[in-house]
Copies of this chain bind each other. A is one copy, B any other.
């Protein structure tokens, strides 16, 4: 699967590398966006023949390709359409809303593909919620026809769910009865924690293949309202206008076009305008370099808007996101990612200050939330991240967040022989104290210093200071600081050690160590729900030859081992 035109069944590395997260509406095969003033209709109309593999996307079922378009649409609506205050997700098909993730696709996918597919679709649904909550772009879901499994999970990401009352259309999470897996795209977590459905009703609902419709769906809080068929379109439109009317987005503003990325990915190397990566396949290590701003901060807010997709914080967010998604999906054998930066720390901090000053501006708000989401993608990526802080780097403010998102950070003390650049520094900026909360609701520094609130307080007094290696280590900002003559050996040993460990144990370890403190809907989805789903994705009852996923649609009933674990 994945690579278009790949042979059926398990696919090799080449097809895997075909996954590209970049698209634009002119290339969509599965979605269209219809604009009606401040309301946008995001219409799901999946092209049955447009799957990434050898399966048919019947009944508005989806695969990764469909979700890549959805992610792109959600993103563009935020950046390119400041006038849109409400997005209505609806189906372009007459008889179905969405049948969820395509089963044949799941049956054929490797374990790694299933896990990454679910991770990305979860991120997309969280981005929908982020738009509703933080960008004044509320999502409303208008369900006509059945919304089953991932179809209903998509609806659950909306702020308001409308269901037509036509005695047929229902919402359902039939994964357990039908497929022996979980509603893993946030479904279980959102019914208990977002919609607060009573647990026994949730149990009944998740056991009921045909789902629940009409008034009962409202009573059980599965949807927010049911609407007679005769008044469907007008009610949906009216509700959308209501939501849009509450938006604080500037209807007269001009959007920023997300132009195609300046990108060249060629085997082991990837080059963007401000990001680059290089893969050392022998070791399974990728080096990601992020470059600071090549221009000074704009003189005015208008000038920043004019820079559009070239405005450094936005450009770097897009490029870093694409690189992370590429490595995550297409380079599974890369276990360690090294973060380096290059450039002027002052320029990074100046951009952060610009973002902070322009707090009321819709576009600057979007950029901050976007960077937040990119850093969160790192938090849930199953690779070890190590920040390398060396002379010439600019780990300041927004880019210092890479240090705190990393599992470890190594810093060079002093200068390098034969290198006349100043010693490496890290610098905290306003960005590190609230711009980019993690999924747990805390900043990375708050999470890092959960056990040392006094240190956190003290760090607030150091905004903008260029902190050198030994001090950074003493302050707890980096894991270790080494002098030049130790650096290479220490790094080599660390990489040798890290790449000798079981990739699975590292994934589980990191998933636990990265999220100290409170759990939220979001961390529950990536922690509890996804972990159980990944477990089930390994169990013969789901994926074995007699398992439900493999036999689905074959007419043969699965045979389950009856042992309860």
Contacts and interface: CB of A to CB of B under 8 A. Distances in A.
Top 6 nearest A-B pairs (CB, nearest first) are A196-B451, A180-B502, A519-B519, A531-B531, A508-B532, A192-B516
A200 B403 CA distance: 10
A476 B221 CA distance: 13
Contacts of A507: 532, 564-565
Interface string A526-565: 0111011111101101100000100000000010111111
Nearest to A540: B504
Interface stretch (A54-62, A154-162, A202-210): A202-210
A512 B562 contact: no
Contacts of A177: 497, 500-501
Given A200-B406, A528-B528, 6 more contacts: A177-B497, A189-B512, A196-B450, A332-B564, A504-B535, A505-B542
Interface in A346-399: 382-383
Contact of A497 (B188, B207, B479): B207
A198 interface: yes
Contacts of A533: 508
A505 B509 CA distance: 24
A284 B203 contact: no
A30 interface: no
Contacts of A523: 519
A517 interface: yes
B504 A565 contact: yes
Contacts of A321: none
A179 B509 CA distance: 13
A469 B353 CA distance: 63
Contact of A517 (B193, B497, B502, B542): B193
A511 B536 CA distance: 12
Contacts of A524: 519, 527
B188 A513 contact: yes
Nearest to A560: B502
A75 interface: no
Pick the most buried of A188, A196, A497, A523: most chain B CB atoms within 10 A of its CB: A196
Contacts of A449: 198
A407 B508 contact: no
7 contacts: A111-B565, A177-B497, A181-B505, A192-B516, A198-B451, A221-B451, A528-B528
Contact of A527 (B335, B479, B528): B528
